[in-house]
Amino acid sequence: MRTLLLRSLFARPVTIGAPSPEDAALAEVGAALEAQARRLFGRSITIREVDAGSCNGCELEIHALSNAVYDVERFGIRFAASPRHADVLLVTGPVTKNMKVALERTYAATPNPKWVVAVGDCACGCGIFAESYATVGSVEAVLPVDLHIKGCPPRPIELLRGLLALLKSATSG
């Protein structure tokens, strides 16, 4: 065990370089932010993730953001356990009717200023579940959405691009 610990201590980081924030995402987010709110953020954002009925594929990739390769914390992006500590709600899945109320309450519990990011094709457009009696629709059908990150599921690198765009717009200006 000691060798493993020592090796872990002296090993070079396994993280990959930061991707450049996506232009389309930058434009979408930039328009959604007010200059007043930008100053409030400092250089970090705290995210509360809400699964509003996904297949869990999107969650798996959001999880990957915290692994040693993507390590989002190095950019000042943190995940919080409660919406009360969050600046950003990261919402996945087509919103199921059974989750609608919980999603609305989570949004209400998030302090202003706040942003909503829809992650995945389901959250962005309800995807393959649009026709169902049990879904409300995309996240936009329930909450105002500031940024869409498409993909089924989006790769972690794509998530990172979108979030960096959000961070950049939120903290510049």
Partner 1 sequence: MADDALTEILDLAKALDVLAPWPRFEVDSNAWTQIGHLLKAGDADMLALWCEPHAVHLALRAPASDACVVSLAISDGSFPSIGQFHPPAIRLERTIHDLYGIVAKGCPDRRPWLDHGAWELQAPLGTRPSAPVRDPADYAFLPVRGQGLHQVPVGPVHAGTIEPGHFRFTANGEMVARVEERLGYTHKGIDALMAGSDIDHAARIAARISGDSTVAYSFAFAHAVESALGVEAPARAQVLRGVMAELERIANHFGDIGAICNDAAFALAHAHCGIFRERVLAVCDRVFGHRLMMGCIVPGGVAADISAENAAEIVAVLDDLTPRFAEIVKLYDDTPSLQDRTCNTGIVGKELVRRWAAGGYVGRASGRDFDARRDIGYPPYAGMSVDAPVLERGDVDARVWVRIREAEASMKLLRGWLAAIPAGPLQTALPAVREPREGCAMIEAFRGDIWFWLRVADGRVERAHARDASVFQWPLLEAAIEDNIIADFPICNKSFNCSYAGHDL
Q: Which residues contact partner 1 by CB under 8 A?
A: 1, 4-5, 8, 14, 49-64, 66-69, 79, 81-83, 93-94, 96-102, 106, 127-129, 131-135, 152-153, 155
Query: Where do the DSSP E strands lie in 5-103?
Result: 45-51, 77-79, 88-92, 95-96
By CB under 6 A, what part of segment 141-160 binds ligand SF4? 152-153
**Whole-number Å distance between alpha carbons of 36 and 173:** 9
Residue 110 binds which entry of ligand SF4, partner 1, none, CB below 5-8 Å type-dependent: none
Residue nearer to ligand SF4 on the CB measure, 65 or 170: 65
55 contacts ligand SF4 (rule: CB under 6 A):
yes
Q: How many other β-carbons are positioned within 10 Å of the β-carbon of residue 48? A: 22
> Residue 115 Cβ, how far from partner 1 at the closest point, in Å?
17
Among 22, 28, 121, 146, which residue sits at the site for ligand SF4 (rule: CB under 6 A)?
121
139 contacts ligand SF4 (rule: CB under 6 A):
no
For the CA atoms of 77, 168, 170, 39, the dihedral, rounded to the nearest 10 degrees, stands at: 100
57 contacts ligand SF4 (rule: CB under 6 A):
yes
The SS3 of residue 66 is coil
Four-residue CA torsion sign, 24, 69, 153, 111: negative
